[in-house]
Structure formats: structure tokens, C-alpha cells
Amino acid sequence: MSEANPIGSRKADHLALCATDEVAFRDKTTLLEQVRFIHDALPDLDADALDTSCTLLGKPLKAPLVIAAMTGGTDQAARINRELASIAEEHGFGFGLGSQRAMHVRSDAGTKSSYSVRDVAPKALILGNLGVVQARQMTLEEIEALVRSIEADALCIHLNPAMELVQPGGDRDFRGGLDTIAAAVRELPFPVIVKETGCGLSRGVGQRLLGAGVRHVDTSGAGGTSWVAVETKRAEAVADHAARALGEALWDWGIPTAASVGMLAPLGFETIIATGGVSSGIDVARAIALGASAAGIARPVLMALTAGGREGAVGFLRGVLAELRAVMLLTGSPDIAALRRSKRLIGAELRLWIETD
């Protein structure tokens, strides 16, 4: 680990690990597979005329899809962010940046440039990103300046206590988080999205967020990338045996993505982005049928980009859209609103999660 730039070193480690399957959940799934659609053999639709468009946070998207937050703060991150942001621009998706903590800690031009993608994505929905602990330590003016400096449309404030507990040198004091979020929602002049980092948002947390004025959330549920696993692997690399042992115990911790969407959907949020293990167009359709506004995909896009460059990432995303459109046709759904109302069955385990208060 570089002592001169420990955050940059951590970001590089995250990218290397997330480009593999080594940090997936072991036993827990997203439970999206427990959403089953009722087939419509007489859809009375033109497959080429289906409308996948939607509006997310006030911006039009060609499909309910966000290339979700992954990285920032290094030269490699800059290349990845710019490539994926330009793909989002070209195809009408949203794009999320990784944590901007590195920008706040290191104000050099190189670090900032790794988050600057507006020139390659002039019209795309771009989401900034900051941890709630870091937001608590900053003034609202500093937070606003951080988001304005990259011309983002909205700010994600991420919650990641499980990840931090395992991370060598991670945060331990999570007091004041809700007050920090309430102040940000009340004072900042752009939308604030509260998101988890691979462990999901419960109904109870959703209710507390609504009480604080939050109207936009991102589930980032369990079943895809385990950020506890990412930090466990990093702890192993630096021989931090206590952190590694804790990480092994908590590897599969969290609320499955489908369960988180199902818990949050009835509460009345304006926006629910379903991220966490979403890996296909069928998953996107399932999340929308549960009540999500859109879905986010992260590690599968990074893996496709790593394996096949821009062409590989675009090919993967085209496959996601092809599956989404197929589900729309086969459920008789001419548009995304109709897909959200489509008839579906919910498996027993997912139903148990959703019905648990």
C-alpha cells in the first residue's frame, strides 16, 4: 500500500478485486430469482415499438438503467469512468461515480480529473458520491462545491458500516448520520440519494430516511458484490488477521436486493434504484416489477469492460436491454409503467423478507 496515497491504493485494490468473481456473496442471493412473471402468449404488441424510456431524478433515460457507482481517485479509475460515462451518454443510461472522498482529501488536478466525465457525457444523468461519515465531517458548502466541481446532477450519500468495520483503518464512529442526511436534503440545491453499499436498506431505515426528508434511495442490496469480502481480501493481503476473521464471519451479511426493494416500495419514495447483484435484463425487469424506478449494474459491466474493452461492455449492456425488452413483450407490457404493474409470483423466502416488519 502506498503511504503517499493510501486512498488511491485502496481504490486500485477495489478495482482489481471487483474485476473478478472472488468477492461475490457465497451463499446469499439477491432473491430476484424469486420474482416470476406470468407469461402472456397473446401480447398484442410490436416488439420494435416497446417504450423502455423513463425519467429519473428529472432527467430522461432511454432505459431504466444506471451504470452504478464503482470508482474514482486513480489514473485507472479515470479511464474507466470516462469510458463508461461515454457509453451511458451514447445509450441513454445514468452513470454513477465512486466515492469522492479522494477528491476531498487530495485536491490535486489528477485526482479531480478521475471524476470529471461531463465532457464525454454532456447530457447523461451523473451521480456524485460521498460517504455519510465524510459528509458529517464536511460543511454543506464543501459538499456542494464537491458536487458542483464535477457537474453532477445529484449526490449519493452512501452508508457502509459493515464494510468499514472490516476495512483496515476504516471508520468506527457512525453517530449523527441521520442528522447529516437531513441537513443535506434540506440545504443542498440538488437531489440527494441515500444508498447502501452491498448490504441493503431495511423498511425501518427507509421509514427513518423518509422522516428526515429523503425522497430518493438506492438499495445496493446483498447478493452481488460483497464489499465486506472486498475488504476481507485486502485485510488478507496486509496480514490483518483480526479484520480478515471478522470479514469471513460477515461475508454474506445484508438484506437481499429484491427484499430491500420490496420493503421500500410501499413507503412512498419518489425514486428507488435497485442495485446489488443486478446482472441481466431479466433482473432489471424483476426489480421494476417489485417497485423500483430503475436498476443499477456495476461489477458485471466492469468485468465486461476489463475482458473486452468498450466493445465488450457495450455488448453486455445491449444484451441486458434485449432481455428487458423480451420480458416486456412476454408480459404484455408496452412501457415501463405497465411492466411495474405486470402480474408476477413471489417466492416464499422473498415474501418472508418483505412481510417481516
Please write the tens of the pLDDT for every residue from 62-91: 999 999 977 777 888 899 999 999 999 999
Q: Is the pLDDT of residue 4 over 60?
A: no
Which pLDDT score is estimated for 104? 81
Given this model, what pLDDT does residue 3 score?
Answer: 45
Indicate the range of 41-50, 75-84, 333-342 predicted with least confidence: 75-84
Give residue 137's pLDDT.
96
pLDDT in the model for residue 285: 98
Q: Which domain holds residue 264?
A: 6-355
User: Which one-letter amino acid corresponds to residue 216?
Assistant: H
Query: What pLDDT score was predicted for residue 255?
Result: 98
pLDDT mean over 33-58: 98
Residue 1: inside a domain, yes or no?
A: no
CA 3, distance to chain mean position in Å, is 29
Tell me if 268 is assigned to some domain: yes
* pLDDT-derived band at 2, boundaries 50, 70, 90: very low
pLDDT above 80 for 166: yes
Q: What integer pLDDT is reported at residue 11 of this predicted model?
A: 57
Taking 90 as the threshold, does the pLDDT of residue 10 lie above it?
no
Digit-coded pLDDT (tens) for 173-226: 999 999 999 999 999 999 999 999 999 999 999 999 999 999 999 999 999 999
Given this model, what pLDDT does residue 239 score? 85
> Does residue 149 register a pLDDT over 70?
yes
Q: Is residue 81 part of a domain?
A: yes
Residue 18 domain flag = yes
The CA distance from 125 to 164, in Å, is 28
Q: For position 79, which CATH number holds?
A: 3.20.20.70
Total number of domains in the chain: 1
User: Tell me: the pLDDT tens digits for 261-307?
Assistant: 999 999 999 999 999 999 999 999 999 999 999 999 999 999 999 99
CB 332, CB 45: distance < 8 Å: yes
> In angstroms, rounded to a whole number, what is the distance separating the alpha carbons of residues 35 and 19?
28
pLDDT tens string 231-242? 999 888 888 999
Residue 90 lies inside a defined structural domain of this protein: yes
pLDDT over 60 at 1, yes or no:
no
Task: Provide the percentage of residues in the chain whose pLDDT is more than 90.
Answer: 83
Mean of the pLDDT values across residues 144-161?
A: 96
The 10s digit of each residue's pLDDT in 92-135 is 999 999 999 888 887 676 788 889 999 999 999 999 999 999 99
Q: What is the rounded average pLDDT of the residues 157-177?
A: 94
Q: How far apart are CA 348 and CA 257, in angstroms?
A: 15
